[in-house]
């Protein structure tokens, strides 16, 4: 259960009460102690003077019977009690007791003052007297005696009741003065504290309005002169708060804009390695990232390597090592990321930052490069091996048969031409990729381009049924005529290579829209597996895994087609099998319609 806070007013009252108590209580205690001691000391000194007077009177007693009368007369005049005690403690005379009862008094040898007097000292004692029923101050001293008075102890007793009455009266008046002073002081402090509380409440209310998101009302007047510095400080503080808030909001917006504008995904971990938040790119990488707040990275992506790297970074952070760590991960989506894990320095709540750099394309390009090197090596090795073999055979002949020699030379020439064609296509593909080949766009007739392409395929023609549904009414496209012919020729050559010899069939037709023309080239060949359709436009990629040498070609034709279409603002795609027939392949060549591009 929480104890309610004590108000400022009550604190002031309590503090002032403590101060007042210390200020008045100390002197009062000092007065009581010193005054009592002073009065008691004066009483002892007065009693000692009385004792001397009594001793002087005893020295003048000449007869023993006169002792009691002398002591009673002297005690009456001095308003004290006088007792004369023998050395054995027997009371010889006492002014406070009748003469006939003196012999009945108890022995006084054990009295403290008597014992001190017998030891040669001045004995003193303050105690209650059962005989007189009041407090008495006793002072005793040994008396040497004379001819009439035997040696003994003379004792005087002075009543303390008057002294105590005087002290009690003084203490009473002092108490009334102190009490009245305390009441007046507390009343004054209460009044002043109420004014201070009201002034502070007005400032507190203004501060509460700011804390609740209010507009931040400034205090236009000071409740009191003493509060003026506080009011001025509050208004200055309010101005700084507004300025700082604007700066913080601006910096926050800038930071969020920078983080959300990053292409790399960024995820922040707390000191325990739990996910706090991520930017937009991270949410695209990990859909539903916000639902994993407060959980481990392992739960987000099920990658033990990433979790181990995060744990290692947090462990290094605890050891004072804030160096960056890296790990490469591959997600189930097929994307690969180079993850940089940076421990955060100087913030106990924040642990580390994970930055996900997408290297999927880099890895794909690296794989393409490796495949390209392997494919070029393979594609060049075959004709080079053939050329080398036939050349070595010719060199090893002792005599030359003209027919055989011609055959060998034709093989060498064919393989050399194949290598030359491959190099030409590689150079063309390189120029297309780097945009170094100038392309003049004109209005081109797709039917004429298809006719030229089919005519150039004459050496490869089989017994094929060629259906051309492109007519003179087919819309013209915006393209380079020669490159359009090359695209058609490459696609037709592929179709001719793979269609069956006996039932070969190729059909070309088109569909036009307001801005584009799609040309479909269908064949009834074996088709293209679905897993290969996304890669057939890569360099040297072939569907047949055994690279059947019976099927010619360099493996660069479709890659060239794709780059030509990209430079034309069009595209080329494949669909297998053909929906209408259920077999074969369909290549779709899409180009912008001439005269419509500027309207887009």
**pLDDT by residue (tens digit) across 458-481?**
666 668 888 888 887 788 899 888
**pLDDT by residue (tens digit) across 293-320?**
888 888 888 888 888 888 888 888 888 8
Same fold, 11-167 and 262-358: yes
* Residue that wins the pLDDT comparison between 1 and 589: 589
* Residue that wins the pLDDT comparison between 286 and 260: 286
DSSP H helices in 268-359: 280-285, 297-301, 304-318
β-strand partners of 277: 268
* Residue that wins the pLDDT comparison between 451 and 181: 451
Segments making up each domain of the chain, as ranges: 11-167, 219-261, 262-358, 363-433, 442-599
Do 145 and 87 touch, CB atoms closer than 8 A?
Answer: no
Do 77 and 57 touch, CB atoms closer than 8 A?
Answer: no
Q: Supply the pLDDT for residue 1.
A: 47
Cα–Cα nearest to 174, from 166, 163, 185:
166
Lowest mean pLDDT among 10-14, 99-103, 372-376: 10-14
Mean pLDDT of all residues in 174-185: 76
Local confidence band at 549 (pLDDT 50, 70, 90 cut-offs): very low
* Fold of the CATH domain 11-167: Beta-Lactamase (3.30.450)
pTM for this prediction? 0.42
Distances (CA, A) of 350 to 271, 297, 317: 5, 15, 11
Q: Is the peptide bond before 577 cis (omega within 30 degrees of 0)?
A: yes
**CATH architecture group of domain 363-433:** Orthogonal Bundle (1.10)
β-strand partners of 521: 508, 587
Mean pLDDT of the chain: 78
Lowest mean pLDDT among 30-44, 59-73, 90-104, 494-508: 30-44
Do 374 and 360 touch, CB atoms closer than 8 A?
Answer: no
The sign of the torsion formed by the CA atoms of 87, 92, 97, 102 equals positive
Q: Supply the pLDDT for residue 221.
A: 60
pLDDT of 522 higher than 90: yes
β-strand partners of 520: 509, 588
pLDDT of 239 higher than 90: no
Do 123 and 113 touch, CB atoms closer than 8 A?
Answer: yes
**pLDDT by residue (tens digit) across 121-152?**
888 888 777 766 677 888 888 888 887 788 88
* Fold of the CATH domain 442-599: Heat Shock Protein 90 (3.30.565)
Cα–Cα nearest to 122, from 140, 144, 143:
140
Mean pLDDT of all residues in 67-76: 81
**CATH architecture group of domain 262-358:** 2-Layer Sandwich (3.30)
pLDDT of 519 higher than 80: yes
Distances (CA, A) of 503 to 55, 212, 245, 278, 439: 166, 84, 79, 59, 39
pLDDT of 599 higher than 50: no
Do 345 and 322 touch, CB atoms closer than 8 A?
Answer: yes
């Amino acid at each position: 259960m929480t104890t309610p806070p004590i108000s400022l007013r009550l604190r002031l009252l309590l503090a002032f009460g403590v101060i007042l108590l210390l200020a008045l209580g100390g002197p009062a205690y000092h007065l009581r102690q010193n005054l009592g001691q002073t009065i008691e000391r004066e009483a002892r000194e007065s009693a000692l003077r009385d004792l001397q007077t009594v001793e002087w009177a005893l020295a003048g007693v000449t007869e023993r019977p006169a002792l009691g009368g002398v002591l009673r007369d002297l005690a009456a005049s001095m308003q004290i009690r006088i007792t004369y005690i023998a050395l054995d403690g027997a009371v010889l005379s006492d002014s406070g007791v009748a003469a006939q009862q003196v012999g009945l008094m108890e022995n006084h040898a054990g009295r403290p003052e008597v014992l001190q007097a017998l030891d040669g000292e001045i004995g003193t004692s303050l105690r209650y007297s059962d005989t007189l029923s009041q407090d008495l101050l006793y002072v005793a001293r040994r008396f040497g005696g004379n001819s009439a008075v035997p040696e003994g102890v003379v004792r005087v007793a002075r009543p303390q009741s008057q002294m105590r009455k005087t002290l009690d009266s003084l203490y009473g008046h002092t108490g009334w003065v102190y009490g009245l002073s305390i009441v007046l002081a507390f009343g004054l402090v209460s009044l002043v504290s109420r004014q201070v509380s009201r002034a502070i409440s007005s400032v507190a209310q203004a501060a509460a309005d700011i804390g609740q998101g209010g507009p931040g009302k400034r205090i236009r007047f000071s409740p009191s002169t003493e509060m003026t510095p506080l009011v001025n400080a509050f208004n200055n503080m309010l101005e700084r708060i507004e300025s700082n808030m604007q700066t913080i909001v601006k910096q926050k917006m800038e930071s969020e804009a920078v983080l959300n504008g990053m292409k790399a995904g960024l995820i922040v971990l707390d000191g325990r390695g739990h996910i706090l938040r991520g930017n937009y790119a991270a949410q695209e990488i990990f859909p539903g990232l916000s639902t994993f707040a407060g959980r481990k990275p392992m739960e987000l992506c099920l990658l033990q390597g990433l979790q181990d790297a995060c744990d290692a970074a947090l462990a290094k952070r605890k050891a004072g090592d804030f160096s960056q760590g890296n790990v490469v991960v591959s997600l189930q989506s097929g994307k690969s990321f180079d993850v940089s894990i940076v421990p955060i320095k100087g913030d106990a709540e924040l642990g580390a930052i994970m930055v996900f750099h997408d290297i999927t394309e880099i890895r794909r390009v690296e794989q393409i490069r490796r495949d390209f090197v392997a494919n070029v090596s393979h594609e060049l090795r075959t004709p080079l091996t053939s050329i080398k073999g036939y050349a070595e055979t010719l060199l090893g002949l002792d005599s030359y048969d003209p027919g055989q020699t011609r055959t060998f030379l034709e093989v060498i020439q064919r393989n050399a031409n194949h290598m030359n064609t491959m190099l030409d296509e590689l150079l063309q593909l390189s120029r297309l990729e780097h945009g170094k080949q100038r392309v003049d766009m004109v209005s081109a007739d797709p039917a004429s381009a298809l006719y030229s392409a089919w005519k150039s395929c004459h050496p490869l023609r089989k017994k094929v049924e060629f259906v051309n549904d492109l007519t003179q009414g087919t819309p013209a496209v915006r393209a380079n005529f020669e490159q359009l012919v090359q695209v058609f020729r490459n696609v037709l050559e592929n179709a001719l290579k793979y269609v069956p010899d006996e039932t070969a069939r190729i059909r070309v037709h088109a569909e036009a829209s307001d801005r584009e023309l799609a040309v479909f080239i269908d064949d009834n060949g074996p088709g293209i597996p679905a897993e290969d359709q996304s890669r057939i436009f890569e360099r040297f990629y072939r569907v047949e895994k055994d690279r059947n040498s019976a099927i010619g070609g360099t493996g660069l034709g479709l890659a060239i087609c794709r780059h030509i279409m990209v430079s034309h603002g069009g595209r080329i795609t494949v669909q297998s099998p053909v929906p209408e027939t259920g077999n074969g392949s369909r290549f779709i060549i899409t180009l912008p319609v001439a005269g419509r591009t500027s309207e887009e």
